[in-house]
Amino acid sequence: MPESETQKNLNRPAVRILPLAGLPEVASGDDLGALIMQAARKQGVGCAAGDVFVVAQKIVSKAEGRSVRLDSVEPSERARRWAAEFQKDPRVIELVLRESSGIVRMERGVIVARTRHGFVCANAGVDVSNTREGTALLLPEDPDGSARKLQEQLARAFGCHVGVIVSDTFGRPWREGLVNVALGVAGMSPLADYRGQRDAHGRVMQATIIAVADELAAAAGLVMGKLERMPVVIVHGVALEKGTGSGRDLIRPAERDLFR
């Protein structure tokens, strides 16, 4: 590594991942952007250009009224049949079916579905944990739209460019455990494209596109914790370039997917 590069890296500040404390319980109709700003002010959190706010899907969904009372759900015949077979609540299965564009697997009580957005995850993102008894929480209808709205609001209020990621914890093929991933993205490019750049040996890099929004979501996951008492996390110090793109860019079209 040339000396200038070493020096630059010595001076490169660390990435910091900060929980945003003091956020109240979020309810339907709440102005989530305003709540985040209030909590940030109270905590004395400033903002630098390129900071990324990672916001747990749960509070976005709650603010957007995506909570459903199970006793308002009339299960279809199909939902009843599957619920009986898997010993599940037929109303929850009904919601999963409504949220799905396709079922990937249905086995041993676990439904892996492709959501209408295109995400592949357990129960099509329908969540009955960490919600009020007798309710289920659905994914935001348009996580990119949710991210965009928050992004504009936070950028305006802070007076600097920020990225916003709406995240959720998903299982994945081949590997154990859940990781936090990006569903909605705004104010940044979700993919960092290194193709054409030269590696340390001066050779042009081949197929190297990093899912930086997913790495940011995963990093935030370390601080959110699964109990999600910290549903908003700020990532400082990632040298993020302003970029366009959305969470949809992270969804691999089935016909291009060689990894399954």
Residue 41 in the binding site for a copy of itself (CB under 8 A): no
Please work out the total of residues on this chain that contact a copy of itself, with binding judged by CB under 8 A.
Answer: 81
Of 31 and 199, the one with the shorter C-beta distance to a copy of itself is 199
Q: Shortest distance, CB of residue 96 to a copy of itself, whole angstroms?
A: 14
The span of 83-91, 141-149, 157-165, 250-258 binding a copy of itself (CB under 8 A) equals: 250-258
Residue 243 touching a copy of itself (CB under 8 A): no
Separation CA 63–CA 237 (nearest Å): 29
Q: Which residues of 213-238 are buried (b: 16+ CB within 10 A; e: fewer)?
A: bbbbbbbbbebbeeeeebbbbbbbeb
Question: Binders of a copy of itself among 154-183, rule CB under 8 A?
Answer: 169, 171-181
Binding a copy of itself (rule: CB under 8 A), the pick from 41, 105, 156, 242 is: 105
By CB under 8 A, residue 251 contacts a copy of itself: yes
Residue in 28, 49, 205, 241 binding a copy of itself, rule: CB under 8 A: 205
Q: Is 87 one of the binding residues for a copy of itself (CB under 8 A)?
A: no
CA 257 – CA 260 distance, rounded (Å):
7
Q: How far is the CB of 55 from a copy of itself (least distance, A)?
A: 16
Contact predicate 250/213, CB 8 Å? yes
| Residue 153, token pair as written in the block | 């609001």
CA atoms of 210 and 260, how far apart (whole Å): 19
The residue among 150 and 250 lying less far from a copy of itself, judged by its C-beta, is 250
Q: What is the separation of C-alpha 119 from the centre of its chain, rounded to a whole number of angstroms?
A: 11
Residue among 34 and 205 whose Cβ is closer to a copy of itself: 205
Contacts within 8 Å (CB) and 24+ apart, 128-133: 128/89, 128/92, 130/58, 130/227, 130/228, 131/67, 132/67
DSSP β-bridge partners for residue 112 = 105, 122
CB of 239 to a copy of itself, least distance (A): 9
200 binds a copy of itself (CB under 8 A): yes
